[in-house]
């Protein structure tokens, strides 16, 4: 019979996803069949499963840590924001429609059967299910109909460990304050707490751990120091992509308002010969960039307007005149063409707009969504990746497709080869292609084997948690489900 334990946080970005990944690797190394599970996630950084479904990128990393293939049941409800007030709803890997936030509040209880079904499927094949919450259970205004935190924990009978983030300050208030606002039934689900992202001498917080335990009655399960190599793991939030290297070749990435699948950047951050600069709204694209990389977008037309509103279209044209390189991935590829049209309003209000005009192609959105893992060639070098997009792109520059998938040309490029686009995500994870592409930009591409580095980092994370968390006690707290 499987056991389950849920990791919830006092807020977003306290490290829940990373802790679940590290714990999954640690317990899997003990011989347990571990499965990660997140009832509801909100992210435009999606991963593709073998059957063509979509889940949050964090759950794909957790599956990898557990040594199993990603499954749509590891994240049965995925919300992909399309605007400030609406999102596409993915249920068990498939698009179920789009809803405004106000409508979702009334509809989310309807997803509990799918959540419980997926959880049962995972439990049937596991010794241990590690469940990740979303946001914070202290958002009691969201408790009615909740399927992401205490609503799920109570429905499934899964005990909870609450995690606070000391790096942002006020961790005692985070944990004790959560204890103060939760209803008695929800409080009864919490078995212990942990404090994450500590810097300095841990003895200095002994009294703090004691204070939290005294005020809450929860068992202290670990004071986890900052994991310095965390940046080497795929990030779920674009804001995590701070510059790590100061290489001579600069890659500038405009931070789109609906940026999606920015894990494309992860392998580039490990290359010492380049620097990846995320350009926030309101700042110009740097004039000394060698490559401007336009990433994916969940709402291409909206982000095309956003791109122009920042003046980046002018900066990009100047970059092109200077002989700079441009690469568009998925939505970024669509923006580089002559036009983008969404006649049925699939990604937002129906409409059309002129593209950036750097590729002689046009894109029309259509309801059919292309989702799946892909294997092929890029510049004649083997690559693996995935597609996850709507829209069909056609035009003369497609005749210079530089990617081949299933024997067919894919993508487009300008006559001089300096402007390129493709629908293939994850292309830089293929070491041979990445090194060859960067070498043509003049960068020394001598970074580590990307996939091997991710594996080494997951092992190091598991070792880190084994040193600083009470793993035997955590396992003992997991309840049979």
Residues annotated catalytic, as ranges:
330, 425
Sheet holding 94-100: strands in order across?
40-42, 77-81, 86-91, 94-100
DSSP codes joined into one string, 234-262: PPSSGGG-------SEEEEEE--TTEE-G
Q: How open is the CA angle 47-13-459, to the nearest 5 degrees?
A: 65
Distance CA 388, CA 261 (A): 9
Q: Bridge-partner residues for 209, per DSSP?
A: none
Distance CA 27, CA 462 (A): 9
Q: How far is CA 476 from CA 3, 5, 256, in A?
A: 9, 10, 44
Distance CA 218, CA 337 (A): 57
Give the three-class secondary structure for 323: coil
Tokens of 219: 């068992």
Q: How open is the CA angle 415-422-439, to the nearest 5 degrees?
A: 70
Residue among 317, 275, 291 at smallest CA distance from 417:
291
Q: Where are the alpha helices (DSSP H) in 280-408?
A: 300-309, 312-321, 331-335
Distance CA 180, CA 176 (A): 6
| Residues with Cβ within 8 Å of residue 200, at least 6 apart in sequence | none
Tokens of 280: 């926030």
Distance CA 220, CA 198 (A): 15
Residue among 346, 355, 333 at smallest CA distance from 412:
333
| Residues with Cβ within 8 Å of residue 187, at least 6 apart in sequence | 179
Distance CA 260, CA 390 (A): 13
């Amino acid at each position: 019979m499987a056991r389950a334990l849920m990791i919830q946080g006092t807020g977003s970005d306290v490290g829940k996803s990373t802790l679940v990944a590290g714990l999954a690797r640690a317990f899997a190394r003990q011989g347990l069949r571990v499965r990660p599970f997140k009832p509801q996630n909100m992210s435009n950084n999606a991963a593709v499963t073998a059957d063509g479904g979509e889940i949050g990128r964090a759950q794909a990393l957790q599956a990898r840590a557990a040594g199993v293939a990603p499954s749509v049941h590891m994240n049965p409800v995925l919300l992909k924001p399309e605007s400030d007030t609406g999102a596409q709803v993915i249920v068990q890997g498939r698009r179920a429609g789009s809803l405004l936030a106000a409508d979702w509040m009334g509809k989310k209880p309807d997803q509990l059967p799918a959540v419980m079904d997926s959880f049962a499927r995972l439990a049937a094949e596991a010794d241990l299910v590690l469940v990740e919450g979303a946001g914070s259970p202290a958002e009691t205004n969201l408790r009615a109909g909740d399927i992401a935190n205490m609503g799920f924990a109570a429905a499934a009978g899964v005990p909870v460990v609450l995690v606070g983030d000391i790096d942002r300050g006020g961790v005692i208030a985070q944990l004790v304050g959560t204890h103060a606002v939760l209803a008695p039934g929800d409080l009864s689900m919490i078995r212990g707490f942990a404090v994450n992202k500590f810097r300095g001498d841990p003895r200095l917080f002994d009294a703090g751990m004691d204070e939290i335990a005294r005020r809450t009655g929860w068992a202290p399960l670990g004071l986890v120091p900052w994991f310095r190599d965390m940046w080497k793991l795929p990030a779920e939030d674009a804001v995590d992509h701070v510059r790590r290297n100061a290489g001579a070749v600069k890659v500038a990435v405009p931070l789109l308002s609906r940026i999606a699948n920015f894990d494309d950047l992860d392998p580039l951050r490990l290359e010492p010969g380049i620097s990846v600069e995320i350009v926030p709204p309101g700042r110009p694209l740097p004039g000394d960039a060698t490559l401007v990389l336009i990433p994916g977008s969940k709402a291409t037309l909206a982000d095309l307007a956003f791109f122009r509103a920042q003046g980046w279209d002018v900066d990009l044209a100047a970059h092109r005149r200077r002989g700079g390189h441009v690469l568009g991935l998925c939505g970024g590829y669509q923006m580089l063409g002559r036009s983008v049209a969404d006649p049925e309003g699939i990604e937002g209000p129906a409409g059309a707009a002129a593209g950036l005009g750097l590729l002689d192609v046009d894109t029309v959105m259509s309801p059919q969504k292309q989702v799946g893992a892909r294997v092929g060639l890029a510049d004649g070098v083997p690559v693996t990746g995935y597609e996850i997009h709507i829209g069909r792109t056609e035009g003369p520059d497609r005749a210079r497709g530089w990617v081949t998938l299933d024997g067919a040309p894919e993508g487009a490029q300008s006559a001089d080869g300096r402007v390129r686009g493709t629908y293939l995500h994850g292309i830089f994870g293929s070491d041979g292609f990445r090194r060859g592409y960067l070498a043509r930009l003049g960068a020394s591409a001598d970074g580590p084997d990307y996939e091997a580095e991710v594996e080494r980092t997951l092992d190091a994370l598991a070792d880190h948690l084994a040193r600083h968390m009470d793993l035997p006690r955590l396992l003992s707290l997991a309840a049979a489900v």
